[in-house]
Amino acid sequence: MAIDLDIKYEAILRLDSGIINIDLFAEESPELVNNFIFLARNSFYDGLVFHRVVPGFVAQAGDPSGDGYGSPGYTLSSETNALTFSAGSLSMARDAIGTVNGSQFFITLGSTPHLNTDFTVFGKVKSGLEILDNLPVRDPTRPGLEVAEKILNIEIIEK
């Protein structure tokens, strides 16, 4: 593991439209946070887009193919904790058979208690949720919604 569980981590997502600050919960979800930090520090997310944006529900990114099916070439084990979903919660996406994707993450844009049983919160937006609320609607399966917000980079801060 590359992270220190005694250190607090924050992710700073820089987008074309602004900055989003996210507290990462390494103590509660060490494997998910470790993976996210590893990818961010290795510039994996730089230039990728929010390929799925559903107003009031989620903004999803981290897919190198941009169509909802891409990954870094590996999956993750499920991890559970007692954290519950609310607007601004950060979690990893799953594929159609329920496997945790290695790179795709989503941030909830509203109340999503139905996600509590199937997904794990590993971070929370502390500022910039309004930027996510204003992202263009995006569905990679629907033509005509090609405009997508780009992640310029993700910086990891140790506190």
Q: What are the phi and psi torsion angles at 129 (to 5°)?
A: -60, -30
The token duo for 103 is 């790179």
For domain 9-158, the CATH class is: mainly beta
Q: What percent of the chain is helix, strand and coil (3-state, nearest 5)?
A: 15, 35, 50
Do 90 and 105 meet the contact criterion of CB atoms below 8 Å apart? yes
> Residue 143: is its pLDDT beyond 80?
no
Higher pLDDT, 151 or 148: 151
Side-chain-side CA neighbours of residue 126 (13 Å) = 10
> Residue 95: is its pLDDT beyond 90?
no
How does DSSP classify residue 136?
Answer: P
Q: Which residues pair with 60 in a beta bridge?
A: 52, 106
CA–CA separation, 105 and 159 (whole Å): 23
pLDDT digits (tens, 9 = 90+) for 17-31: 999 999 999 999 999
Tokens 């390929």 locate to 51
Question: What Rg, from alpha-carbon coordinates, does the chain have?
Answer: 14
Domain boundaries, the chain: 9-158
> Residue 55: is its pLDDT beyond 90?
yes
Instruction: With 0.85 as the threshold, say if the pTM is over it.
Output: yes
Do 30 and 36 meet the contact criterion of CB atoms below 8 Å apart? no
Do 3 and 34 meet the contact criterion of CB atoms below 8 Å apart? yes
pLDDT at 1: 80
Q: Where are the alpha helices (DSSP H) in 3-147?
A: 30-41, 129-133
